[in-house]
Amino acid sequence: MPVQSQVQKVGVVGCGLMGAGIAEVSARAGLDVVVAESSAATADAGRARLEKSLARAEAKGKVDSAAAVLERVRVVTDLGELADRELVVEAIVEDEDAKTELFRTLDKVVEDRSAILASNTSSIPIMKLGVVTERPEQVIGIHFFNPVPVLQLVELVPSLLTADETTARSRAFVEETLGKKAIDCQDRAGFVVNALLIPFVLSAIRMLESGFATAEDIDRGLVLGAAHPQGPLALADLIGLDTTKAVAESLYEEFKEPLYAAPPLLARMVDAGLLGRKTGRGFYTYS
């Protein structure tokens, strides 16, 4: 018998590109959503991001009423507002220390002991997040892809301690409630997609760094020669060069394979704040 997700109250921590996207698809599915941000300024920015995305969706006929969807979302600055949530998805910066500290806090804040505590991490092992709580059996990776309202894939990543029921409920939430497609991943850095994708992106960065080809020609080659929707350097800009670097470092720490090592050019660009689309400049410049 199919498992019903039974989730009606969703919490999201972080209202950046990923967090806002997760909040949007949850609200579009008719759920009650609370999004927690770290300050009034970031909360306002997150709310504006949601409004802009939903306005586009309404203009394209993807939703009947952006205003009606927004009524199901509250953006707050107090994690205590997540106390009654049945599922909370963490979508903050890709930093292990920050995420583990947040999970310690969520463990204390979320009152329902059967609630699912999920991470949208791109690469950090879920076990490291689960063991800092008193309910590791309720902790799982639910990894969405950017842009969340558009891309259908979600990676489900249980740790060795995640209960089968948690995994089943998470799958029901992803597939039945949100209408997305889930794949199962082992709890290893990078999971499935990033373990394949990041070495490919890093190889393109090394090619550019060595002077082998221009950014434009590298990307054009993959778009026109391999039917990719966009080239690897444009994709890195979309992902965010800081996130790309963080995922690479997580993969290298776990596997110690040279193909996962972040190239010096990537590190220098991150140090310079050239993070891609979100800062207006990466391998390309954005208006």
CATH number for position 220: 1.10.1040.10
Same-domain pairing of 249 and 115: no
Tens digit of pLDDT at every position of the chain (287 positions): 455 558 999 999 999 999 999 999 999 999 999 999 999 999 999 999 999 999 999 999 999 999 999 999 999 999 999 999 999 999 999 899 999 999 999 999 999 999 999 999 988 999 999 999 999 999 999 999 989 999 999 999 999 999 999 999 999 999 999 999 999 999 999 999 999 999 999 999 999 999 999 999 999 999 999 999 999 999 999 999 999 999 999 999 999 999 999 999 999 999 999 999 999 999 999 98
Cβ–Cβ under 8 Å, residues 250 and 189: yes
CATH number for position 143: 3.40.50.720
Is 122 a residue of the active site? Answer: yes
Q: Does the model's pTM come out above 0.85?
A: yes
Cβ–Cβ under 8 Å, residues 125 and 188: yes
Q: Is 255 within a domain?
A: yes
Is 134 a residue of the active site? Answer: no
- Split into its structural domains, the chain has a count of 2
Same-domain pairing of 133 and 266: no
Domain of residue 212 covers 195-278
Same-domain pairing of 84 and 121: yes
Same-domain pairing of 169 and 140: yes
Beta strands 139-144 and 153-158 are antiparallel
Q: Residues 143, 170, 249, 250: which is the catalytic one?
A: 143
Same-domain pairing of 170 and 210: no
Same-domain pairing of 142 and 167: yes
Is 26 a residue of the active site? Answer: no
Q: Residues 5, 120, 170, 194: which is the catalytic one?
A: 194
Torsion of CA 196, 197, 199, 205, to 10 degrees: 170
Q: Residues 155, 159, 170, 249: which is the catalytic one?
A: 155
Q: Is 61 within a domain?
A: yes
Same-domain pairing of 119 and 27: yes
Is 287 a residue of the active site? Answer: no
Element (H, E) at 216: helix 215-226
Q: Residues 122, 123, 159, 170: which is the catalytic one?
A: 122
